[in-house]
Amino acid sequence: MVKICCIGAGYVGGPTMAVIALKCPEIQVAVVDISVPRISAWNSDTLPIYEPGLDEVVKKCRGKNLFFSSDVEKHVSEADIVFVSVNTPTKTQGLGAGKAADLTYWESAARMIADVSKSNKIVVEKSTVPVKTAEAIEKILTHNSKGINFQILSNPEFLAEGTAIQDLFEPDRVLIGGRETPEGQKAIKALRDVYGHWVPMDRIICTNLWSAELSKLAANAFLAQRISSVNAMSALCEATGADVSQVSHAVGKDTRIGPKFLNASVGFGGSCFQKDILNLVYICECNGLPEVANYWKQVIKVNDYQKTRFVNRIVSSMFNTVSGKKIAILGFAFKKDTGDTRETPAIDVCKGLLGDKAMLSIYDPQVSEEQIQRDLSMNKFDWDHPVHLQPTSPSSMKQVSVVWDAYAATKDAHGICILTEWDEFKTLDYQKIYDNMQKPAFVFDGRNIVDVAKLREIGFIVYSIGKPLDEWLKDMPAVA
């Protein structure tokens, strides 16, 4: 029986391994992590991450051919294939701080694999890593390898949160990079056979190691670049009276461009886009390519501009001050159908409003109060480091309250900011909400999900990203 072990039971390791276990009943899959609470949660009825469809998959396989354990060394030593899916955050200190990937967790996993292995293994990079990482990992593994053969593969993950299970069931492609030696090709075949249980062969792309590593960074950069492009257009739409949804639709109808990923928003968030582009920028700089680095840096700059622009719209619309005003924040996760808040635009928007002394009442169906407090008190780039390394929340967050209902959040509020596109925000009773708010009542829709005409009919002053401006807002400056 083939044994797989995955180091890192996070947003990628957990769902990916659960799907491999489901699709390959004859393979034994162990997911291991140094975080004991995380492993306990994977073994409980309340999984550590919220992801539609994940519960069913885990329940079908757990205890049969899918195991979650904190006995990292035992499972690694027994495995034929070891996936490494640990976090690779942005470095916060030292050389490359604020840009380069922090490979501390990866390196310690590699050292541990080298220490405990007694048989040949295929080691698979699942984490997103800088191009050429495999070379460094190979050095760690083969140094003092006691005659054991390690084959390194790069198998980056392309799932998106909120649709992880669907993405894993029907991936656009699976990418496997390996050495161009006979042993490397044999290792590629072994991993291709695992995915071959459910992924059509023509969707499994095999490349060399460096192409696979770089393709992952490139794919995220291209995706994020589309969002920054449409967000840049949204500012121009507001200035000219064009409607960004109509522009996106018209542009996306060109089959060379395509309709997906062209929704203007308050800005992209999530644990990957910013981190991976910064990493790409750093690699370009290290390779003496400042023009290429600056090109990609601009994608992040436009994203920051969009968040600042949104905050400025709110403040300038509300008579240039939100001091002491109650603002309801609807949605805190970085997108719908996840409880993940890493790099969510809500953090920057809330911090911007708090800086202007607003009183925030925050509601998100999947994010806990503790998480929100931690996020709002954290430094940039600390977010993806293990919890014990993150700053604790100060008790002085008196301007922030977290409530468990959109109606409570909006009661007596001066304004509403929609920051996550949760479906439930589309069907709220906005008349009831309006009746219970201070007047004039404002809605700032950072996701373009509300029916603007209907809300204006009720009496709201509405700002929607990239849409023709409300009369109220027309003469207000909205410079970032």
CB 362 within 8 A of CB 402: yes
Sort 277 into a burial class: Cβ within 10 Å, 0-12 / 13-18 / 19+.
buried
Q: Tell me how far apart the alpha carbons of residues 267 and 269 are, in angstroms, rounded to a whole number.
A: 7
Q: Is 9 annotated as a binding residue?
A: yes
Hey, which residues between 363 and 402 contact ligand UPG (CB under 6 A)? none
Cβ–Cβ < 8 Å for 422, 406: no
Site string for ligand UPG, 106-145 (x = CB under 6 A): ----------------------x-----------------
The C-alpha atoms of residue 155 and residue 177 are separated, in whole angstroms, by 6
φ and ψ of 328, to 5 deg:
-85, 130
Is 275 annotated in a binding site? The answer is yes
Say which residues have a Cβ less than 8 Å from residue 297's Cβ, sequence separation at least 6: 277, 281
CA dist., res. 345 & res. 418, Å (int): 11
Tell me: does residue 342 bind ligand UPG (CB under 6 A).
no
272 is catalytic: yes
**Contact call for residue 215 and ligand UPG (CB under 6 A):** no
Token pair, residue 147, equals: 């005659």
Annotated binding residue at 253? no
Q: Which of 6, 24, 272, 284 is catalytic?
A: 272
| Residue 105 binding result from ligand UPG, ligand NAD, none, given CB thresholds of 5 to 8 Å by partner type | ligand NAD
Ordered strands of the 150-154 beta sheet:
66-69, 28-32, 3-7, 81-84, 121-125, 150-154, 174-178, 204-208
C-alpha 417/C-alpha 314 separation (Å) is: 9
Give the residue from 341, 328, 391 showing the smallest Cα distance to 368. Answer: 341
Among 14, 270, 415, 466, binds ligand UPG (CB under 6 A): 270
Please give the helix or strand (H or E) that residue 444 lies within, else none: strand 442-445
Q: For residue 291, say whether it is annotated as part of any ligand binding site.
A: no
State the DSSP code for 387: G
Is 12 known as a binding-site position? Answer: yes
Residue 268 contacts which entry, ligand UPG, ligand NAD, none (Cβ below 5-8 A, type-dependent): ligand UPG
Closest separation in Å from C-beta 161 to ligand NAD: 5
**Count of residues interacting with ligand UPG (CB under 6 A):** 20
CB of 128 to ligand NAD, least distance (A): 4
CB 450 within 8 A of CB 462: yes
Give the pairing of strands 461-464 and 81-84: unpaired
Contacts with ligand NAD by CB under 6 A lie at 7-13, 33-35, 38, 72, 85-88, 105, 108-109, 127-128, 157, 159, 161, 271-272, 386
Per CB under 6 A, the segment of 37-45, 95-103, 190-198, 264-272 that binds ligand UPG is 264-272
Residues with Cβ within 8 Å of 141's Cβ and at least 6 positions away in sequence, in order, are 110, 113, 114, 123, 150, 152
206 binds, among ligand NAD, ligand UPG, none (CB under 5 to 8 A by kind): none
d(CA 182, CA 247): 51
Least Cβ distance, residue 313 to ligand UPG (angstroms) = 17
Q: Name the minimum Å distance from CB 25 to ligand UPG.
A: 26
Could you say whether residue 227 binds ligand UPG (CB under 6 A)? yes
Q: Which is nearer to ligand UPG, 261 or 472 (CB)?
A: 261
C-alpha span between 116 and 98 (Å, rounded) = 33
In the bound complex, what is the minimum distance in angstroms from residue 335's beta carbon to ligand UPG? 4
Residue whose beta carbon is closest to ligand NAD: 10
Tokens of 100: 């380069």
One-letter amino acid of 7: I
Which of 18, 21, 100, 262 is close enough to bind ligand UPG by CB under 6 A? 262
65 versus 265: smaller Cβ distance to ligand UPG: 265
Q: Is 8 annotated as contributing to ligand binding?
A: yes
Q: Does 330 bind ligand UPG (CB under 6 A)?
A: no
Interface pick for ligand UPG out of 169, 210, 261, 472 (rule CB under 6 A): 261
Q: 211: annotated binding-site residue?
A: no
11 is in an annotated binding site: yes
Q: Strand pairing of 3-7 and 28-32?
A: parallel
Q: Answer yes or no: is 342 a known binding residue.
A: yes
Binding span for ligand UPG by CB under 6 A among 13-21, 141-149, 219-227, 385-393: 219-227
143 vs 260, beta carbon nearer ligand UPG: 260
Length of the chain (residues): 480
The catalytic site residues sit at 272
- Binding residue positions for NAD(+): 8-13, 33, 38, 86-90, 127-128, 161, 272-275, 342
